[in-house]
Amino acid sequence: MPQKTIISKYTKLLFTAVLFTATTFQLNAQQIKIDGVAVVIGKNIVLDSDIAKFKQEVEQRSEGKRTISDCEMLEQLMEQKLLSHHAVVDSVTVSDAEINSKVESSIKYFAQEYGSIEKAVSAYGFNDLDDLKSELFNVQKENKLIEKEQFKITEKVDVTPEEVRLYFNGLKEKNELPEFTAEIELAQIVLNSEPTLEETNRVVAELNQIRKDILDGASFRMKAIINSKDPGVTRDGGKIQVTKEANLIKEFKEVSFSLEKNEISKPFKTLFGYHIIQLHEIKGNTRIVSHILLQPEIPESRLKETQLKVEEIKRDIEAGKLTFEEAVKKYSEDKDSKNNGGVIINGYTGETKFDLTRMDPAMYARVNDLKQGGFTDVFYDEARGGEKMYKFILMKERTDTHTADLVEDYVKIQTLALKKKKEETIEKWSKDKIKDTYIKLGEDYKKCSFKKNWKKATSK
pLDDT band at 342 (very low <50, low <70, confident <90, very high): very high
Same-domain status, 153 and 30: yes
Assess if residue 410 is contained within a domain.
no
Same-domain status, 263 and 358: no
Enumerate residues 6+ apart whose C-beta is below 8 A from 141: 94, 99
With a pLDDT cut of 90, the percent of the chain lying above it is 59
Assess if residue 173 is contained within a domain.
no
Enumerate residues 6+ apart whose C-beta is below 8 A from 80: 21, 22, 23, 146
What is the strand order of the sheet 439-441 is part of?
44-47, 37-41, 439-441
Residues of the domain holding 96: 3-158+421-456
The angle at the Cα of 225, spanning 222 to 228, to the nearest 5 degrees, equals 120
Same-domain status, 190 and 338: yes
- pLDDT tens column, 383-437: 866 789 999 999 999 998 999 999 999 999 999 999 999 999 999 999 999 998 9
Closest by alpha carbon to 233, among 286, 292, 295, 282? Answer: 292
Same-domain status, 116 and 250: no
Assess if residue 370 is contained within a domain.
yes
User: Residue 356 in contact with residue 183, Cβ under 8 Å?
Assistant: yes
pLDDT band at 9 (very low <50, low <70, confident <90, very high): very low
- pLDDT tens column, 435-452: 989 999 998 899 999 999
User: Residue 5 in contact with residue 126, Cβ under 8 Å?
Assistant: no
Question: Where does residue 40 fall: left (phi above 0), alpha (psi -120 to 50 degrees), or beta otherwise?
Answer: beta
Assess if residue 372 is contained within a domain.
yes
Please tell me the distance from the alpha carbon of residue 443 to that of residue 194, in angstroms, as a whole number. 70
Assess if residue 169 is contained within a domain.
no
Domain boundary among 251, 276, 294: 294
Same-domain status, 140 and 280: no
Where would I find the beta strands (DSSP E) of 271-416? 273-283, 286-294, 353-355, 379-382, 388-399, 402-403
- pLDDT tens column, 188-243: 999 999 898 999 999 999 999 999 999 999 999 999 999 998 877 766 667 888 98
CA distances from 441 to 34, 99, 315 (A): 17, 31, 72
Domain boundary among 271, 294, 317: 294
Among 29-38, 88-97, 174-183, name the one with the lowest average pLDDT. 29-38
Which CATH number is 128's domain given?
1.10.4030
pLDDT band at 98 (very low <50, low <70, confident <90, very high): confident
Report the pLDDT averaged over residues 292-296: 93
Please tell me the distance from the alpha carbon of residue 196 to that of residue 194, in angstroms, as a whole number. 7
User: Residue 440 in contact with residue 39, Cβ under 8 Å?
Assistant: yes
- The per-residue pLDDT for 7 is 33
Coil/strand/helix, residue 158: coil
Radius of gyration of the chain (CA): 28
Note if the pTM is more than 0.75.
Answer: no
Phi then psi for 186, rounded to 5 degrees?
A: -120, 150
Relative orientation angle of helices 70-89 and 410-434, to the nearest 10 degrees: 80
Same-domain status, 347 and 241: no
- pLDDT tens column, 150-191: 999 999 999 999 999 999 999 999 999 999 989 999 999 999
Closest by alpha carbon to 43, among 24, 19, 70? Answer: 24
| Average pLDDT over the chain, rounded to an integer | 86
Assess if residue 93 is contained within a domain.
yes
Same-domain status, 205 and 287: yes
Half-sphere exposure of 71 (CA within 13 A, CB side): 12
> Which helix or strand (DSSP H or E) is residue 37 part of?
strand 37-41
Same-domain status, 151 and 17: yes
Higher-confidence residue: 11 or 311? 311
- The per-residue pLDDT for 66 is 77
> Which helix or strand (DSSP H or E) is residue 184 part of?
strand 183-193
Same-domain status, 286 and 427: no
Domain boundary among 294, 323, 341: 294
Same-domain status, 133 and 39: yes
Assess if residue 142 is contained within a domain.
yes
Same-domain status, 7 and 115: yes
3-state SS of 373-410? CCECCCEEEECCCCCEEEEEEEEEEEECCEECCCCCCH
Same-domain status, 11 and 89: yes
> Is the pLDDT confidence value at 381 over 80?
yes
Which CATH number is 204's domain given?
3.10.50
- pLDDT tens column, 323-336: 999 999 999 999 88
Q: How many structural domains does the chain have?
A: 3
